[in-house]
Structure 1
Amino acid sequence: MAQQGIAWLPMVLWAVLVPCSAWLTPRISFPEGSPGRPLVRFHRPDVGNTTLLLLSEDGDTLFVGARDAVISLDVSQEGAMGIRSQLDWSPSENDLQQCSMKGKEMMDCPNFIRVLQFLNTTHMYACGTYAFSPRCTYMLTENLTMTSQSSKPEEGRGRCPYDPYQRNTAITVDGELYTATVADYRGNRPVISRHLSPVDLKLDDTLGWLEDPTFVSSSFIPSEEKIYFFFSEVGREYDFIDKFIVSRVAQICTSDVGGQRTLQRRWTTFAKAQLLCQASSELPYNVVQDITDLPPPEGAPADDTLFYGIFTSQWSVNSGQSAVCAFRLGDIKATFSRNYKVLNRDTLRWSTRVQEKVANPGECGLHNASDNTLRFVKDNFLADDSVQPVGRSLTMVSHDKKYSHLAAQRVRAANHRDYTVLFLLTDSGYLHKAVLLEQGAHIVEEVRVFEQHQSTVGMQLSVSQGVVFVGTSEGVVRVPVANCSFYPSCAQCVLARDPLCGWDHLGRACVEVSASPASLGQDVDEGNVEQVCLTASLSPRSRFGLDQLTTGETVTVSVSLNEVVRLQCPGTSRHAQRTWERPDSRISPDLYLHPGDGSLRFVVTPATLGKYLCLSTENGHRQTLAVYHVRQKTAPPTPTPPARPRTTPTPAPPTWTATTPGGLNPASTTGVWSKISAEVRRHMEGVSAASAAPGTLRPTGPGAVTLGGRPRDPGLEDGERLPRARAPSYLKELVVVSVLLALCLGLLLTVALFAIRQRCRKRTAPQASDGRGGPGEREALRGEPSPRASGKRCNGHGAHGSQSNGQVGSAAPKGSNGHLPNTPICPPPPCGVTPVG
């Protein structure tokens, strides 16, 4: 029984995972350059690697950190992006040569901008890799020119990575720069530091603070006066497995100035904890890829701030490629307020032994604490508990896509409820738009923004402009967050379940919720079309919904018999089930093929002519997507000769019924051929047509009659007509003639074989005697030798095998040896040889 239960387990898991996978399938997919999803692109041949994006406070200017340049784009106009100003900042030839001499590729030696932050309303601060020798500079926001105080760029070690592919994060608070990066050429010294401050701080160089981290994001919480850093690193607290990666959140206080004696110019408020993105009975998604924060709704406490993150797994046994988890600020604060692990500086191993809690690590104001307290927080900076996700479950899981970046937005729908919309970027170049519902995530659409694989990508959401900016190595793409005009009907608008779109009953259009003050039709949670679109005339006059289609939506297809036809069905949604139906008959699987793309294929016959309807069923709503009328091509009219006053229609070939007699002998062959010749002659000379008067009924085919010289199908009612007159068929006549011809040939062959056999029997049979015999026989009877046989004997026999004591009767004589008299029993001797008697 236990083995049977284990055998059924994979089937149960498959049944559970398949609906989830289908649910997370994007409803609509737009390929690159699709007219249904217009995008705006910025690209210049002399500008590359436009991956670092920073949006101005008013949302009208997008600053782009590129290769050897910083660019400001005007994005205030909808559907357009243009350059306002550009700062060219590239290394010298000497710097490039030194970079190449260090063993680096020349393609990695330019100045890749990796830090771009606002210091105030007039100045910006930028840092670049600068040929593996980081440099930083001040610049004016208005025209992107370097200020006089930075005529010579300053060293950027500890503020910007050396390697352009090394990930880092930076944020400015009150004109001070907080960065998380590496501080050496080889990338072995990770550091979280503060710059441009009266008191610059960094982490203690003691081992154990950070273990080979990969920084992904940072966020400032004003109410807490704390900055949170998100990264992944090797978890040294797990000693049962080598290189076990864990995701972390670390915090520091902006008011920290370091200790007076212990931890001088070092962080006294640094603490970190594990972020656990894990489903039940599965290994955790332990590698964080990106984190974004979503402020709480208006009037809600700051503890309701959410951090949405993308996580992947270092193992391939997880059910999905990527997972999204949400963490609440209140839960992070609670984790930091509880117990901490103890680090043994000698063995560099962590323990959870219970000890007296001297201070609360991570608490602001510890820079004024005693040396004993600072030594405690120096050895106890890893929280014992992990931060659990909201609801202790995964927000969403992608089974076939790997996400790399995300942005979050809270949207007020038409029903005055708030919904969270996530914009997720896949490593294959698709931007997914997902809305989070109580029953799970619903992916509204996916848009292809780039095709080439990108090593570094940037993404920035502009709520004021209602667009998402995606920066790649080839340029910047502007993607509107809403695409309401794409949905032509109320049903499509409601089935999209997009909180940004609603159906305007008066204007009969799908519009953006924020742009329409009127009440709009919308159902984000259920997508109930019948309830929302009650005034949109959705009640069909027929079971096929033909009244929902305009006159021009019926497509007529003219085909020929025996032609293969493929009818396409427009795929409006991946969540819909498309089926084909005919108003007057059913679609048999023996005659029709259903490929996986939703089309219908069949061979044209008189039975497959007619109307075809492609129907779509989604979320319980059924609608007609396409109507086809397949008809046979009409033959061109035959011109009538003007000289002939009247034409006699050529009659259809008569239908013959051939009966084969049971015994057919050679004597009847002539009669059969006479009948065949007569029928053929009557047909070829038109005797039947000439002798038949108009209106006379005569046979033209099975089940059809001809009235007044025109064929008529008895199955059609008055006024109905076949799409095309069927061409005359001589198949039955041909079969009858062929059968009769085969019979006649077989009969002739039989007669010929019989005659040949009789002739052979006559040749081989002995001649009948007349009782008197020939001269030779009479001489033999008298005992006189024949002149031809004199002196020619063989062993006492004559030349013809007759013995001296043979008897003669009325039948053919036989010798005593049973042979015929004229048949020798031994060959004749050679000439000149006398046989011995």
Structure 2
Amino acid sequence: METHREWLSSLLLLCVLPSLYGYPFRPPLDLDVTPRTTIYFTGLLGGRRFRGSSMNYSLLVLEDGPGVLYVGARGALFALQASDISSASPKTIDWEASEEQMNQCLNKGKDSKTECYNHIRFLQRFNSTHLYTCGTHAFSPLCTYIDEREFRFSSGFEEGREKCPYDPTKGYTGLLIDQQMYTASQYEFRSFPDIRRNYPNPTLKTEEAPTQWLQDADFVGSALVRESLSSSVGDDDKIFFFFTEKSEELTPYFSNNRVARVARVCKRDRGGLLTLQKKWTSFLKARLVCSLPDYEFHFNVLRSVFYLEASSPQDSVFYAYSVLEIQWAFEGPYMESKVDSGSKWTQYTGKVPEPRPGSCITDELRERGINSSINLPDDVLHFVRRHPLMYRQILPQERRPLLLKRNVDYTKIAALHVTGADGRIYHMLFIGTDEGWLQRAVKVKDHLHIIEELQLFEEPQPVESIVISEKQRSVYVGSHTAVVQLPLCTCSRYSSCFDCVMARDPFCAWDGLECVMVTSNHSRANLTQDMFNGMVGCERASADDQVLRRSRSVMAGDDVLLQCELSSNLATPEWTLGGQHLQGYGLDSGFRIGTDGLLVIGAQTYQSGEYCCLALENGVHVPVVVYSLTIRQEVPLRPTQPPLTTENNWTSPQSNSYPTSLSPRFEFLSVRNMETMYLSLIAILGGLCLVLTVILLYVGFCLQGRGGKYSLRAEKKRVAHMELNTISNNCNGSARDGLLQVVPGEAATSPNKEPLPPAPPLPAPNSEHEFINGFSATLPSVLRKMNGNSYVLLRQSDGDTVSPLYYSFTEELSRILEKRKHTLLCSKPDESSV
């Protein structure tokens, strides 16, 4: 089913909908949630990393009490300090498959790079002193015990084929509950999927005939719900398993589609006496439905599940299905299928035997002499065998997806309760993607607000596990190459009141001076936080303190870009000139408003003034940057005055008065030297053109088969040597390798003339706030105007981080040049441009 990379992910136990052949699904734009901020790898705050000698850090087990994070990887286990996973030397157990076992795996036709290793698939606490672990062991699973204090194997190895799958890629989930092991997977090569209790006796499994309970199931998670606590009917605890399997229902859409399921069994189930002997007597399953209202699209593939436990089971959530809704489905009508006719499953309308099939043992049944599943009547057990599927479908809490995101493949989810400054409890979610991003989101009312997305790894790789520690205030993420520890929040990232409040992070609030963690303040009366709207509580005066102020001074007729980068992806830029709102989109309007700034086209003196860029978010305008733009008709000449008698012959750069005379450093700017300077420049350029012409001739030889290094030699008294090296030393290199490197040699001079004077240095800007032709000299990659007639695109190396917004005006400038190229070029040689 997963035939396209471009699919829509839905956050309800991370269900996903693959695109159909030729019909990729497109949701309404208002449902495609955008993260408020994007934090790249280089901008992460407070992150710590662990990377051992192994790979595939896919299994994380956190024990908050002792402060230990256990990690299961490929061929190794680790015990890390939860407070700082990068500190000290971690405790390590190397557990590789033997060479003999790896050779046997290879002889079975398995992959030597992935499958023929020992992948740790199970690691949980067994008792107060020991852990229990299982690994694939090169397609021959083994299990063993670990001494917690010494962190070493404390016993011999046990056969693991009933507890752990052979294949490291098979869906698998397992729990150790009161020293009983519950697992679900497709264990062996040709076996059917199975849910088992395999330690200790009695062992139980699912039925395979005459009705197969599981249809090519792929398991993603499991959880224990202790319904026996404070139960008024003496009910039993239940274990829930989540998976995706082939559809058995008769539907008008996709008859062979896969569907999301939840199954449950009773913890004290002991199987039947004769019927369903060593089989579950309490196994029932139901369909999980996640769909868009008014759209015939369902999200059917489960990727991850997280049990967010509350004070009572009825208030707990399998994000985002409530336990109460699941209980309601298992108490409803059954489905039936006529095995002989091969028809699809339909609702069962016949008589249901007593006691209710699939139910756990309660006080009422004990009073009737049914103390365990062994005492259940045969007609009840026969009914359970043929009717494992429930008719009612389980809908999410909001009756629609909580989060929709196009072109993102979610892989893992974790959640926790957070108390905001208003005293309300919010659900905070951490969602991992297949490209190594982590999204921090909060449920507000009936939808999800993504606070930020964090790039955890330089190289894209799936997030394979997420665990949260409230004690350490950390979230831990496991992937193919490393384990990452991040703080639950980084309130210090928000530098202003508006930024802090608009983030709508339940961990953070504004205390009047800075953005702080809510839990760090004993009194919350002075904290500002607006979780529902993200707009109330900040005064405009506080915003003005954060405004950047810059100056621009350009010649009339120039085009100037006033840059305005917004920190929030949800904000839109708006501009004012002298307090008046600007709206300009055409060339005739005199300016163009883009996502990264304001472009003043062919600036005129009347366009001088104070330009302000404001970020509009949640209905609030927040000033970001103010430009004082001065447009001059001509270059001002400095007045001539008698020379100063002081030691220095120019004034302070901060002074508004002009110096009485030019220093020797700036003498070349005098009017009488301008003509000489331009003629010298023209002569230099002419010489360069001649040299480049000769170079191109030699490059022509290169294209005909000559490669490697080239040299130009002039057999005269003074030799000019110039090497042109291709980066690859191969003329037939790729386009990327076809760059030339100039290696300067000894410069040549004419025997009859003096050497040409060097080009004069460029004058330094007046201050750090001055810019050349309206552009900052520090911008990483921006179109810069040269003498009013042409533009040069300055390109950084590939390693530099460049905002994609910088290129939004490239097309616009091209059109401007096309329009002006016949009017701006001048015949006078001293006004031409490079």
The CA distance in 2 between the partners of 1:379 and 1:465, in whole Å, is 49
The alignment status of 1:465 with 2:472, answered yes or no, reads yes
The alignment status of 1:483 with 2:494, answered yes or no, reads no
2:566 counterpart residue number: 571
1:40 counterpart residue number: 48
The CA distance in 2 between the partners of 1:428 and 1:41, in whole Å, is 18
Mapped contact 2:565–2:596 kept (Cα < 8 A)? no
The CA distance in 1 between the partners of 2:580 and 2:357, in whole Å, is 77
2:306 counterpart residue number: 292
Q: Give SS of 2:435's match.
A: coil
Equivalent residue in structure 1 for 2:171, among 167, 171, 190: 167
Mapped contact 1:52–1:458 kept (Cα < 8 A)? yes
For 1:592, the aligned partner's letter is F
The CA distance in 2 between the partners of 1:455 and 1:548, in whole Å, is 41
Mapped contact 2:171–2:186 kept (Cα < 8 A)? no
Q: Give SS of 2:480's match.
A: coil
The CA distance in 2 between the partners of 1:456 and 1:101, in whole Å, is 32
Q: What is the CA-CA distance between 1:139 and the residue it aligns to?
A: 0.7
Q: What is the CA-CA distance between 1:487 and the residue it aligns to?
A: 1.0
- The 5 Å alignment of 1:586-605 reads 589=585, 590-598=589-597, 600=599, 602-603=601-602, 605=604
The CA distance in 2 between the partners of 1:495 and 1:595, in whole Å, is 23
After superposition, give the CA deviation of every residue in 1:455-505 in whole Å (9 maximum; x if it has no partner).
Answer: 671111222222221111110111222121111121111111111111112
2:264 counterpart residue number: 251
The alignment status of 1:338 with 2:332, answered yes or no, reads yes
1:18 counterpart residue number: 29
1:199 counterpart residue number: 202
For 2:502, the aligned partner's letter is L
1:623 counterpart residue number: 622
The CA distance in 2 between the partners of 1:165 and 1:65, in whole Å, is 15
For 2:90, the aligned partner's letter is R
Mapped contact 2:31–2:403 kept (Cα < 8 A)? no
In structure 2, the CA distance between the partners of 1:443 and 1:598, relative to structure 1 (3 Å rule), is farther
1:362 counterpart residue number: 358
User: RMSD across aligned C-alpha pairs, in angstroms?
Assistant: 3.1
Q: What is the CA-CA distance between 1:242 and the residue it aligns to?
A: 4.1
Q: Give SS of 2:285's match.
A: strand
The CA distance in 2 between the partners of 1:271 and 1:577, in whole Å, is 51
The CA distance in 1 between the partners of 2:170 and 2:463, in whole Å, is 10
Q: What is the CA-CA distance between 1:283 and the residue it aligns to?
A: 2.2
Q: What is the CA-CA distance between 1:453 and the residue it aligns to?
A: 4.3
For 1:352, the aligned partner's letter is Q
Equivalent residue in structure 2 for 1:190, among 190, 193, 197: 193
The alignment status of 1:94 with 2:100, answered yes or no, reads yes
After superposition, give the CA deviation of every residue in 1:227-246 in whole Å (9 maximum; x if it has no partner).
Answer: 00000100123376442211
In structure 2, the CA distance between the partners of 1:377 and 1:431, relative to structure 1 (3 Å rule), is same
Equivalent residue in structure 2 for 1:227, among 223, 239, 243: 239
2:216 counterpart residue number: 212
Equivalent residue in structure 2 for 1:554, among 549, 554, 575: 549
Q: What is the CA-CA distance between 1:16 and the residue it aligns to?
A: 9.6
Identity within the alignment, %? 33
After superposition, give the CA deviation of every residue in 1:374-401 in whole Å (9 maximum; x if it has no partner).
Answer: 2221112111211222132222222342
Q: What is the CA-CA distance between 1:405 and the residue it aligns to?
A: 1.2
Mapped contact 2:271–2:277 kept (Cα < 8 A)? yes
The alignment status of 1:277 with 2:290, answered yes or no, reads yes
Q: Give SS of 1:106's match.
A: coil
2:520 counterpart residue number: 515
The CA distance in 1 between the partners of 2:559 and 2:436, in whole Å, is 38
Task: Give the TM-score, by structure 1 length.
Answer: 0.66
Equivalent residue in structure 2 for 1:538, among 527, 537, 540: 540
Mapped contact 1:270–1:361 kept (Cα < 8 A)? no
In structure 2, the CA distance between the partners of 1:371 and 1:444, relative to structure 1 (3 Å rule), is same
1:801 counterpart residue number: none
Q: What is the CA-CA distance between 1:204 and the residue it aligns to?
A: 2.5
In structure 2, the CA distance between the partners of 1:242 and 1:609, relative to structure 1 (3 Å rule), is same
The CA distance in 1 between the partners of 2:284 and 2:374, in whole Å, is 14
Q: What is the CA-CA distance between 1:53 and the residue it aligns to?
A: 0.8
The CA distance in 2 between the partners of 1:129 and 1:101, in whole Å, is 16
2:70 counterpart residue number: 63
Mapped contact 2:411–2:462 kept (Cα < 8 A)? no
Task: Give the TM-score, by structure 2 length.
Answer: 0.67
The CA distance in 1 between the partners of 2:133 and 2:27, in whole Å, is 50
Q: What is the CA-CA distance between 1:115 and the residue it aligns to?
A: 0.9
For 1:168, the aligned partner's letter is Y
Mapped contact 2:72–2:78 kept (Cα < 8 A)? yes
For 1:621, the aligned partner's letter is V
Q: Give SS of 1:390's match.
A: coil
The CA distance in 2 between the partners of 1:218 and 1:447, in whole Å, is 28
Comparing both chains, which one has the higher relative contact order based on Cα–Cα distances under 8 Å and sequence gaps of 6 or more?
Answer: 2
The CA distance in 2 between the partners of 1:154 and 1:414, in whole Å, is 52
Count matched residues: 594
In structure 2, the CA distance between the partners of 1:49 and 1:599, relative to structure 1 (3 Å rule), is farther
Q: Which moved more, 1:613-622 or 1:563-572?
A: 563-572
Q: Which moved more, 1:110-119 or 1:261-270?
A: 261-270
Unmatched tracts of structure 1, length 5 or more: 1-13, 309-325, 651-722, 728-837
For 2:621, the aligned partner's letter is R
After superposition, give the CA deviation of every residue in 1:336-383 in whole Å (9 maximum; x if it has no partner).
Answer: 122212243434543434222114232123332122322221112111
For 2:392, the aligned partner's letter is D
1:85 counterpart residue number: 91
After superposition, give the CA deviation of every residue in 1:788-827 in whole Å (9 maximum; x if it has no partner).
Answer: xxxxxxxxxxxxxxxxxxxxxxxxxxxxxxxxxxxxxxxx
After superposition, give the CA deviation of every residue in 1:759-799 in whole Å (9 maximum; x if it has no partner).
Answer: xxxxxxxxxxxxxxxxxxxxxxxxxxxxxxxxxxxxxxxxx
For 2:152, the aligned partner's letter is T
Q: Give SS of 1:514's match.
A: helix
Unmatched tracts of structure 2, length 5 or more: 1-24, 229-236, 362-372, 645-659, 662-669, 672-772, 774-786, 788-834
2:823 counterpart residue number: none
The CA distance in 1 between the partners of 2:247 and 2:68, in whole Å, is 41
The alignment status of 1:303 with 2:314, answered yes or no, reads yes
After superposition, give the CA deviation of every residue in 1:270-314 in whole Å (9 maximum; x if it has no partner).
Answer: 111111112223222122221111112x4xx32111111xxxxxx
The CA distance in 2 between the partners of 1:453 and 1:427, in whole Å, is 8
For 2:611, the aligned partner's letter is Y
The CA distance in 2 between the partners of 1:159 and 1:555, in whole Å, is 67
